[in-house]
A = this chain, B = another copy of it.
Amino acid sequence: MMDAKKVTALLRKKGFKVTPQRLAIYNVLCNTKAHPNAEMIFNKLQPYYPTMSLATIYKTIDILKEINLIQIINVGEDSLRYDAVVKSHSHIRCTVCNKVEDIMDFDFTPAIKDVAQRTSYDLSGQQFYFYGVCPECQAKANRKIG
């Protein structure tokens, strides 16, 4: 999570031009916890940037990923989601409403170390995904039955 000034500086430093579209896309990702995919970002910006195309979203995401401003989340849907929180953390998806939430402050270090030792791989990263029904959807289901 960076403010506009830092993002501007970082883009320049890495040799990318600073455009309103790029700042806007990063801004959307900073101001949501919904882990949007490309289309959701597109829809969010549509009112303010009516001429923006999906291609711009994808190209900008490539750049933001490259300079490590965002991370890509693959929760097994048909589209990818994006997150402005780059600190490694796990995600959980509700199998009913499909929302994706963060699982922060969860220490998987011992497990990771164990895997590294056991496999002799030179580990560079990992992704943990959990699936289940969120409390809200559980409540809804109970209301229907009750």
Those of A99-134 within 8 Å (CB) of chain B: 101, 103, 106, 108, 111-112, 114-116, 118-134
Interchain CA distance A76-B124 in the complex, whole Å: 15
Is A95 in the interface zone, CB < 8 Å from B?
Answer: yes
Protomer copies: 2
* Chain B residues, CB < 8 A from A121: 92, 94, 130, 132-135
Is A74 in the interface zone, CB < 8 Å from B?
Answer: yes
* Chain B residues, CB < 8 A from A90: 115
Interface size on A, residues (CB 8 A): 35
**A101: nearest chain-B partner, CB-CB:** B119
Is A79 in the interface zone, CB < 8 Å from B?
Answer: no
Is A46 in the interface zone, CB < 8 Å from B?
Answer: no
Listed by A's residue number, 28 A-B pairs whose Cβ atoms lie within 8 Å are: A76-B127, A90-B115, A92-B115, A92-B119, A94-B121, A95-B124, A101-B119, A103-B115, A103-B118, A103-B119, A106-B114, A108-B111, A111-B111, A119-B130, A119-B132, A121-B133, A121-B134, A122-B132, A122-B133, A122-B138, A123-B130, A124-B132, A124-B133, A125-B130, A126-B130, A126-B131, A127-B128, A128-B128
